[in-house]
């Protein structure tokens, strides 16, 4: 097959949701369709339950599981699907944000009872940064949920994206009858079942009395009224708008009952984009360029503390990746040999000889690779769009064992490269402050420092509200600002300047007082 054909048959995406909306369940059903797993219950949830908040072993166990489910590759109707797992637990949100830089589109799961939740909003913001195309799946229709029109309005309002229903539910909860596909003009009747999928009943004309026979007169009447309203209010589905991230097609269903999932998947493979062109520091690289290129978006430490082997996840962006070849590591400015690359299929990992744009390859690494690293066949470019986000909780790292300073530094630096947290080093006094998205991460860091590096650290809470990356068109103004706020200036892992704001109000005041300084909440800005 040619490079172009390999590209056209690939879909690389992620499923995002607020915890408990049904991401794991949907993932499992999709894998069933791909024949990648045989029975329900085979996908281990990679999420960490709330009750496990301080249970180390649970976290460690989850870490093991999540390597296996990090990338799930499967085939469905001639399409090679790469599904990238995104941790649902909000304490690991940063990991999810980064994974979203490696996908070409997403499916967003929304609970019809709860509607748009806080984590959905945050994830959507990340999608919007790159105009990632989004398909919505409104789940749990077998429950008494909210009015579907109300849900659509809420999505438009809170997620700031236009929607276009492509299917429509007939009732909900106990009275749930099924969904009508506006796309295929067919009716799917709901029978609670976990494995089988009924074929749809074709209803070419919504006024056909067949509809009344299947769903009852009142339901048919309501559906006709709803459809009329939808066709009147929402413009026709425009695939270009979807691909530009302007409109999200919406499906209704019930993942646990495997209802509405096949329609979702069939539409997904038809409309979702194959590997898209990607931006680098120098130019946009097209997937069908013959020369290989890709970037590392995730690093996963191995479970065995005696071997510091790590798996780096490489997203292939252009050309063909061949195992055993030498590729140019842009940050090191040297060529590296990749003899042990692994492909991810749904249940196991296997050695891969070649991989194509959209594929994710696992590379064993002994501590050299870093998130954001770019590999090419020699071109000096770096893939962009893998930003760090300002953490929410900050603590100073205090070394509790003077004999193990080196171990602590090494451990910290490796954990930061894995993206577990962010390290900020103050300009004055070189104080080291770790910032995380969720409190759980401190416990993970402390535990892993001890367990893997034999270093003992304590974390002292800091009164910091946000880390803001700073820039200015005027270097003199920037220097003046740094001078006047010296005690609050730090550098991130890449040496970028960061202003550590103590409170929202104070940040606002500083922003007002220094209008020439730009304050950014992510590490990447133009
Ligand atoms: P995640 O946290 O988003 O991965 O959510 P899960 O897939 O683990 O689902 C959370 C809970 O919702 C589980 O108990 C599921 O069985 C349940 N669930 C998932 N889909 C449905 C559905 O369609 N209807 C109902 N009633 N429950 C569902």
Q: What is the mean pLDDT of the chain?
A: 86
Among protein residues, the one whose CA lies closest to atom 19 of ligand 1:
22
Q: What is the spatial distance between Cα 292 and Cα 320, in angstroms, rounded to a whole number?
A: 5
Q: Pick from 376, 372, 314: which is nearest to 341 by CA?
A: 314
User: Sign of dihedral through CA atoms 148, 151, 157, 163?
Assistant: negative
pLDDT at site 53 = 39
Q: List pocket residues of ligand 1, CB cut-off 6 Å.
A: 17, 19-25, 45, 47, 88, 139-140, 142-143, 254-257
Index of the ligand 1 atom closest to the CA of residue 255: 23
For residue 21, the CA-to-ligand 1 centroid distance in Å is 6
Q: For the chain, what percentages of helix, strand and coil (3-state, to nearest 5) are there?
A: 30, 30, 40
At residue 350, does pLDDT exceed 70?
Answer: no
Contacts of 199 (CB under 8 A, 6+ apart): none
**In 3-state terms, what secondary structure has residue 220?**
helix
Identify which has the larger pLDDT, 366 or 397. 397
User: Ligand 1: which atom is nearest the Cα of residue 253?
Assistant: 23
Binding-site residues, in ranges, read 17-24, 85-89, 139-142
Q: Which atom of ligand 1 is nearest to the CA of 19?
A: 2
Centroid of ligand 1 to alpha carbon of 23 (angstroms) = 7
- Measured by CA distance, the residue closest to atom 27 of ligand 1 is 140
Residues 6+ apart with CB under 8 A from 113: 140, 143, 144, 145, 146
Say which residue, 414 or 234, is predicted with more confidence. Answer: 234
Q: Which of 119, 255, 257 to mutate to test the pocket of ligand 1 (most atoms within 8 A of CB)?
A: 255
What sign has the CA pseudo-torsion 194, 200, 205, 209?
negative
Ligand 1 centroid – CA 124 distance (Å): 20
Question: Among the atoms of ligand 1, which is closest to the Cα of residue 259?
Answer: 23
Cα–ligand 1 centroid distance for 109 (angstroms):
10
Find the radius of gyration of the CA atoms of the chain: 25
- The pLDDT value recorded for residue 214 is 85
pLDDT at 290: 96
Candidate of 25, 28, 110 to mutate for ligand 1, largest count of ligand atoms within 8 Å of Cβ = 25
Question: pLDDT confidence of 62, banded at 50, 70, 90?
Answer: low
Determine which residue's CA is closest to atom 24 belonging to ligand 1. 140
Phi-psi region of 150 (alpha: psi -120 to 50; beta: other; left: phi over 0): alpha
Per-residue model confidence as pLDDT tens digits over 257-304: 888 898 899 999 999 999 999 999 999 999 999 999 999 998 887 656
Least-confidence region, from 114-118, 179-183, 292-296: 179-183
Query: What percent of the chain is predicted at pLDDT more than 90?
Result: 55
Write the residue with the smallest CA distance to atom 11 of ligand 1. 20
Query: Which of 149-163, 372-386, 436-450 shows the highest mean pLDDT?
Result: 149-163
Number of the ligand 1 atom closest to the C-alpha atom of 17: 3
Distance of CA 257 to the CA centre of its chain: 25
Give the pLDDT of residue 314.
93
Mutate to test the pocket of ligand 1, among 256, 257, 260 (most ligand atoms within 8 A of CB): 256
Give the position, in ligand 1's atom list, of the atom nearest the Cα of 139: 23
pLDDT digits (tens, 9 = 90+) for 125-180: 889 888 999 999 999 999 999 999 999 999 999 999 999 999 999 999 988 888 99
CA 39 to centroid of ligand 1, rounded, Å: 16
Whether 318 and 287 have beta carbons less than 8 Å apart is answered as yes
Q: What was the pLDDT predicted at 52?
A: 38
Encoded tokens for 289: 């360029």
In this structure, the strands spanning 489-491 and 497-501 are antiparallel
Res 57 pLDDT > 90: no
Q: How far is the CA of 18 from the centre of ligand 1 (A)?
A: 11
Residue ranges of alpha helices (H) inside 14-167 are 23-33, 56-70, 93-99, 118-129, 148-159
Grade residue 89 by pLDDT with cuts at 50, 70 and 90: low
Task: Output the pLDDT for position 307.
Answer: 63
CA 341 to chain CA centroid, nearest Å: 23
Highest mean pLDDT among 209-218, 314-323, 338-347: 314-323
Q: Show binding-site residues for GTP.
A: 17-24, 85-89, 139-142
- CA 206 to CA 194: how far, in whole Å? 29
Establish whether this prediction's ipTM goes over 0.90: yes
- Across residues 494-505, what is the average pLDDT? 94
Distance (Å, whole) CA 434 – CA 461: 10
> Is 313:355 a contact under the CB 8 Å cutoff?
no
Is pLDDT of 38 > 90? no
Give residue 197's pLDDT. Answer: 57
Categorize the per-residue pLDDT at 47 as very low, low, confident or very high, splitting at 50, 70 and 90: very low
């Amino acid at each position: 097959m040619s490079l172009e054909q390999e590209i056209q048959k690939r879909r690389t995406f992620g499923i995002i949701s607020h915890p408990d909306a049904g991401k794991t369940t949907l993932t499992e059903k999709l894998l069933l369709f791909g024949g990648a797993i045989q029975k329900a219950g085979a996908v281990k949830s990679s999420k960490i339950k709330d009750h496990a908040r301080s249970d180390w072993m649970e976290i460690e166990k989850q870490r093991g599981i999540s390597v296996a489910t990090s990338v799930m590759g499967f085939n469905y109707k001639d399409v090679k699907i790469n599904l990238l797992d995104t941790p649902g637990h909000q304490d690991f949100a940063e990991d999810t944000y980064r994974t979203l830089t490696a996908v070409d589109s997403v499916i967003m799961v929304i609970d019809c009872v709860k509607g748009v939740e806080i984590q959905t909003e945050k994830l959507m913001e990340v999608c919007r940064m790159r105009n990632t195309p989004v398909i919505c799946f409104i789940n749990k229709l077998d429950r008494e949920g909210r009015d579907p029109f109300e849900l659509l309005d809420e999505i438009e309002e809170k997620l700031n994206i236009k929607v276009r229903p492509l299917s429509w539910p007939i009732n909900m909860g106990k009275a749930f009858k099924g969904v009508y596909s506006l796309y295929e003009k067919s009716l799917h009747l709901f029978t609670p079942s976990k494995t089988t999928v009924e074929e749809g009943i074709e209803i070419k004309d919504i006024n056909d009395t067949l509809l009344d026979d299947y769903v009852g007169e009142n339901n048919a009447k309501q559906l006709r009224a709803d459809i009329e309203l939808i066709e009147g209010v929402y413009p026709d589905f425009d695939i270009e708008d979807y691909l530009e991230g302007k409109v999200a097609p919406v499906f209704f269903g019930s993942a646990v009952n495997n209802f509405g999932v096949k329609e979702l998947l069939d539409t997904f493979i038809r409309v979702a984009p194959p590997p898209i062109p990607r931006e680098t520091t120098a130019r946009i690289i097209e997937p069908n360029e013959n020369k290989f290129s890709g970037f590392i978006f995730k690093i996963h430490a191995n479970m065995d503390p005696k071997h510091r082997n790590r798996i780096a996840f490489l997203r292939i962006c252009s050309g063909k990746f061949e195992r055993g070849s030498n590729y140019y590591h842009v940050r090191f400015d040297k060529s590296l040999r990749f003899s042990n690359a692994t492909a991810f299929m749904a249940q196991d990992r296997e050695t891969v000889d070649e991989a194509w744009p959209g594929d994710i390859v696992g590379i064993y690494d002994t501590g050299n690779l870093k998130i954001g690293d770019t590999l090419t066949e020699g071109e000096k470019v770096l893939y962009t769009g893998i930003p760090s986000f300002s953490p929410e909780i900050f603590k100073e790292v205090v070394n509790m064992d003077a004999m193990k300073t080196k171990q602590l530094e090494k451990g910290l630096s490796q954990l930061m490269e894995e993206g577990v947290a962010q390290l900020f080093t103050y300009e004055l006094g070189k104080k080291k402050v770790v910032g995380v998205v969720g409190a759980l991460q401190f416990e993970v860091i402390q535990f892993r420092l001890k367990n893997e590096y034999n270093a003992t650290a304590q974390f002292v809470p800091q009164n910091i509200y946000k880390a803001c990356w700073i820039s200015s068109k005027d270097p003199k103004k920037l220097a003046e600002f740094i001078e006047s706020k010296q005690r609050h200036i730090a550098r991130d892992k890449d040496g970028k300047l960061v202003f550590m704001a103590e409170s929202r109000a104070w940040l606002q005041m500083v922003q007002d007082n220094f209008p020439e300084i730009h304050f950014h909440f992510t590490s990447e800005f133009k």
